[in-house]
């Protein structure tokens, strides 16, 4: 659906060259909600501006629905752009126009008939849950309502692709959630492919199927959200993942441990990581009942991503050495990643 082939993009200003994208390869399939995450300046907005060809690549090809954008005439580009909607962090609504007029703009540009525009705008207002706001002005709306209008405008042309550049960054957590739910509904109901840029991992966690992590113009890691969250490889990815999945023992627990257990040597400490199937099995129960070890759960954290449970747990095992070793073997056999932690390592 959307393909980047060896795409590089340089900007030049006053003789200074910025390499905003460096040899990017990425495939976004039809129907995906594809998240692009990275710190400020990583090149995320540049990447989406290439999808609607607001920017041209310095090198490489951007291919949309099997058409190489470099090779299209202006007319063909206009057609492709009509099938791409975009929403922004600051909504970009025209302040002097009513909500109705803002949503109608793309349809007026297409020279649609008045009755068709009227019907479509009211349909869209209903869809985004603001059927009663047609005659309001943007300044009379809350941030969340403005973004709903931005979304309605982006959907006016029945796009195949929706680009969201930090669309929830100016909103509070509850409003963010409602906008993400709306984007999910758009994806599911209309099979619109969504490319969603963010610097917040919880946004990716909530609705994305796939994610690409960007740093300094490069994609450093990409794949299914559950795989990237479960096994982040690059340090930057690990930093992002740690903002939503807490896999460190809280400091209070560490202090307690050092005080109470640090001196004893018949207790071993482990970090267990669960992903998907392994998270739904009663493995800890099995250790207690069958492996005859005492399990002390120090800290556990679980998240649900794309209907998969992902979690980490810190436990102490107490018992006979062979039973503990047997327990570890059992856990690994059941897909749990087990790492032993030395008591002396944790302070
Ligand atoms: N029009 C431009 N002219 C010159 N340099 C630009 C232009 N647009 C972006 N850049 C530079 O390209 C790099 C990537 O910018 P980009 O806006 O794509 O980053 P971003 O990941 O979207 O960042 P943010 O999270 O802050 O929005 C930055 O170094 C930026 O300064
Ligand atoms: Mg940006």
DSSP 259-296: HHTTT-SSEEEEEEEEEGGGGGS-HHHHHHHHS--EEE
CA 2 to chain centre: 17
Residues 183 and 323 in one domain: no
C-alpha 231 to ligand 2 mean position (Å): 26
- CA of 218, nearest ligand number: 1
User: Which residue, judged by its Cα, is nearest atom 4 of ligand 1?
Assistant: 11
Residues 167 and 274 in one domain: no
The kind and range of the H/E element at 305 are strand 294-305
User: Which residue, judged by its Cα, is nearest atom 31 of ligand 1?
Assistant: 41
C-alpha 237 to ligand 1 mean position (Å): 20
Residues 258 and 140 in one domain: no
Q: Residue 307: exposed, middle, or buried by beta-carbon count in 10 A (0-12, 13-18, 19+)?
A: exposed
Nearest atom of ligand 1 to the alpha carbon of 42: 21
Q: In which residue are the tokens 């087990």 written?
A: 338
For residue 96, the number of C-alpha atoms closer than 13 Å in the C-beta half-sphere is 0
Q: How many domains does the chain fold into?
A: 2
CATH of the domain at 62: 3.40.50.300
User: Which residue, judged by its Cα, is nearest atom 27 of ligand 1?
Assistant: 40
- Give helix 173-190 / helix 143-155 axis angle, nearest 10°: 20
Task: List b or e across 261-280, with b for residues whose CB sees 16 or more CB atoms inside 10 angstroms.
Answer: beeeeebbbbbbbbbbebbe
Helix, strand, or coil here: 14? coil
Residues 312 and 201 in one domain: no
Tokens of 219: 């994609």
Give the residue, out of 13, 14, 35, 44, with the most ligand 1 atoms within 8 A of its beta carbon, to mutate for a pocket test: 44
Q: Which of 218, 242, 266 is the last residue of a domain?
A: 242
Q: In which residue are the tokens 């993009």 written?
A: 9
By DSSP bridging, strand 84-88 and strand 16-28 are: unpaired
C-alpha 46 to ligand 1 mean position (Å): 6
CATH of the domain at 303: 3.30.70.260
Q: In which residue are the tokens 């200003």 written?
A: 13
Residues 337 and 219 in one domain: no
Tell me, what's the pLDDT at 214?
97
Residues 266 and 211 in one domain: no
User: Which residue, judged by its Cα, is nearest atom 1 of ligand 1?
Assistant: 11
Q: Which of 214, 242, 270 is the last residue of a domain?
A: 242
Q: Which of 186, 210, 242 is the last residue of a domain?
A: 242
Nearest atom of ligand 1 to the alpha carbon of 199: 25
Residue 291 DSSP label = S
The whole domain housing 148 covers 2-242
Pocket of ligand 1 (CB under 6 A): 11, 13, 18, 20, 38, 40-46, 199
Tell me, what's the pLDDT at 262?
52
Q: Which of 77, 89, 20 shows the shortest CA–CA distance to 51?
A: 77
Rounded CA separation 347/344 (Å): 7
User: Which residue, judged by its Cα, is nearest atom 14 of ligand 1?
Assistant: 43
pLDDT tens per residue across all 347 residues of the chain:
999 999 999 999 889 999 999 999 999 999 999 999 999 999 999 999 999 998 999 999 999 999 999 999 999 999 999 999 999 999 999 999 999 999 999 999 999 999 999 999 999 999 999 999 999 999 999 999 999 999 999 999 999 999 999 999 999 999 999 999 999 999 999 999 999 999 999 999 999 999 999 999 999 999 999 889 888 999 999 999 888 877 777 777 777 776 666 556 578 889 888 877 666 667 777 777 777 888 888 888 888 887 778 888 888 888 888 889 988 998 898 888 899 987 666 65
- CA of 41, nearest ligand number: 1
Residues 228 and 105 in one domain: yes
Residues 287 and 198 in one domain: no
Helix, strand, or coil here: 97? coil
Tell me, what's the pLDDT at 264?
60
The kind and range of the H/E element at 116 are helix 114-127
Tell me, what's the pLDDT at 21?
97
User: Which residue, judged by its Cα, is nearest atom 16 of ligand 1?
Assistant: 43
Kindly list the distances between the CA atom of residue 301 and the CA atoms of 65, 241, 296, in Å, as whole numbers in the listed order: 41, 13, 15
- CA of 199, nearest ligand number: 1
Backbone angles phi, psi at 157, to 5 degrees: -85, 15
User: Which residue, judged by its Cα, is nearest atom 28 of ligand 1?
Assistant: 41
Residues 52 and 138 in one domain: yes
Where are the alpha helices (H) located in 212-316, listed in sequence order? Answer: 225-230, 235-242, 251-260, 283-290
Tokens of 217: 């113009």
Residues 256 and 177 in one domain: no
Rounded CA separation 122/310 (Å): 41
CB 104 within 8 A of CB 121: yes
CB 194 within 8 A of CB 186: yes
Residues 264 and 322 in one domain: yes
Nearest atom of ligand 1 to the alpha carbon of 214: 21
Nearest atom of ligand 1 to the alpha carbon of 9: 12
Rounded CA separation 109/60 (Å): 31
- Give helix 114-127 / helix 143-155 axis angle, nearest 10°: 130
Give the residue, out of 15, 22, 43, 168, with the most ligand 1 atoms within 8 A of its beta carbon, to mutate for a pocket test: 43
CB 51 within 8 A of CB 2: yes
pTM of the full structure: 0.87
Tokens of 28: 């976004």
Within 10 Å of residue 15's Cβ, how many Cβ atoms?
5
Residues 102 and 157 in one domain: yes
Within 10 Å of residue 36's Cβ, how many Cβ atoms?
29
């Amino acid at each position: 659906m959307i393909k980047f082939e060896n795409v590089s993009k340089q900007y030049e200003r006053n003789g200074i060259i910025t390499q905003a994208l460096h040899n990017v390869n990425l495939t976004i399939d039809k129907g995906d909600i594809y998240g692009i995450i990275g710190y400020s300046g990583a090149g995320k907005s540049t990447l989406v501006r290439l999808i609607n060809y607001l920017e041209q690549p310095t090198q490489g090809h951007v291919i949309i629905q099997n058409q190489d954008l470099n090779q299209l005439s202006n007319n063909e580009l206009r057609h492709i752009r009509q099938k791409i909607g975009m929403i922004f962090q600051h909504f970009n609504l025209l302040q002097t126009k009513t909500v109705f007029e803002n949503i109608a703009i793309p349809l007026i540009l297409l020279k649609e008939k008045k009755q068709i525009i009227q019907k479509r705008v009211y349909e869209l207002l209903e869809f985004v849950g603001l059927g009663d706001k047609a005659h309001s002005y943007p300044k009379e709306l809350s941030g969340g309502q403005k973004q709903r209008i931005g979304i309605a405008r982006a959907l006016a042309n029945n796009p195949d692709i929706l680009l969201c550049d930090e669309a929830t960054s100016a909103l509070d957590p509850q409003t963010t959630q409602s906008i993400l739910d709306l984007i999910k509904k758009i994806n599911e109901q209309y099979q619109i492919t969504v490319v969603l840029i963010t610097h917040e991992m919880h946004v990716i966690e909530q609705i994305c199927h796939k994610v690409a992590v960007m740093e300094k113009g490069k994609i450093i890691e990409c794949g299914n959200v559950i795989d990237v969250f479960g096994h982040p490889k690059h340090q930057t990815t690990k930093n992002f993942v740690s903002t939503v999945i807490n896999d460190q023992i809280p400091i209070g627990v560490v202090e307690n441990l050092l005080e109470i257990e640090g001196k004893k040597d018949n207790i071993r400490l482990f970090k267990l990581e669960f992903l998907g199937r392994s998270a739904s099995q009663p493995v800890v129960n099995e250790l207690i009942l069958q492996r005859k070890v005492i399990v002390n759960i120090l800290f556990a954290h679980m998240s649900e991503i794309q209907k998969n449970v992902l979690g980490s747990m810190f436990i102490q095992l107490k018992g006979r050495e062979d039973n503990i070793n047997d327990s570890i073997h059992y856990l690994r056999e059941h897909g749990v990643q087990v790492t032993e932690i030395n008591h002396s390592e944790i302070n």
